[in-house]
């Protein structure tokens, strides 16, 4: 399987909303291998975020960005990154990972076997408590 990566900047969310959605196409599934986020709180208070499967994917994503093949010989990827929607994804019931922050910091998650993202589905970085701003984010997937 080919490896695809994407770095993005300036993602923000209020409590109870998606910050970032990684979406698959109707033709391919993918696996999230790694995620890195450099975070800062908008207000001087703690905030909590988590990574999970949304109850429903976002509707009418605005300006999705396609992940980039790490090997130029691989086909163009179909996994996309989205930070804005007409209707955002719904909250995950459970989270693969949760993290509580009290100031600017970073988090790096690596998933040895990958977290599978089924066809026409997604994973979201969800603001659970507090207002957060993700200054930089990076993810690596395979298709």
CATH number for position 105 = 2.60.120
Range of the structural domain that residue 91 is part of = 3-142
Distances (CA, A) of 19 to 8, 79, 126: 12, 17, 6
Query: Mind spelling out the 3-state secondary structure of 54-82?
Result: ECCCCEEECCCEECEECCCCCCCCCCEEE
Work out the percent of the chain whose per-residue pLDDT is above 70: 90
- Per-residue pLDDT at 87: 93
Q: CB under 8 Å to 29, separation ≥6 — which residues?
A: 116, 117, 118, 119, 121, 143
- Per-residue pLDDT at 120: 94
Count how many domains the chain has: 1
Write the pLDDT tens digit of every residue in 65-107: 899 999 999 999 999 999 889 999 999 999 999 988 777 778 8
Mean pLDDT within 134-138: 72
Using alpha carbons, select from 133, 126, 127 the residue that is nearest to residue 22. Answer: 126
């Amino acid at each position: 399987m080919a490896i695809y990566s994407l770095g993005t900047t300036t993602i923000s969310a209020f409590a109870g909303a998606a910050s970032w959605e990684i979406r698959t196409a109707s033709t391919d599934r993918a696996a999230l291998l790694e995620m890195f986020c450099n975070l800062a709180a908008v207000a001087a208070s703690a905030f909590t975020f988590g990574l999970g499967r949304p109850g429903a994917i976002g509707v009418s994503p605005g300006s999705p960005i396609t992940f980039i093949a790490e090997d130029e010989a691989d086909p163009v990827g179909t996994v996309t990154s989205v930070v804005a929607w007409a209707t955002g994804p719904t909250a995950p019931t459970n989270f693969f990972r949760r993290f509580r922050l009290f100031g600017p910091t970073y988090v790096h998650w690596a998933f040895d076997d990958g977290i599978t993202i089924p066809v026409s589905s997604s994973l979201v970085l969800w603001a659970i408590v507090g207002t957060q701003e993700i200054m930089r984010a990076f993810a690596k997937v395979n298709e």
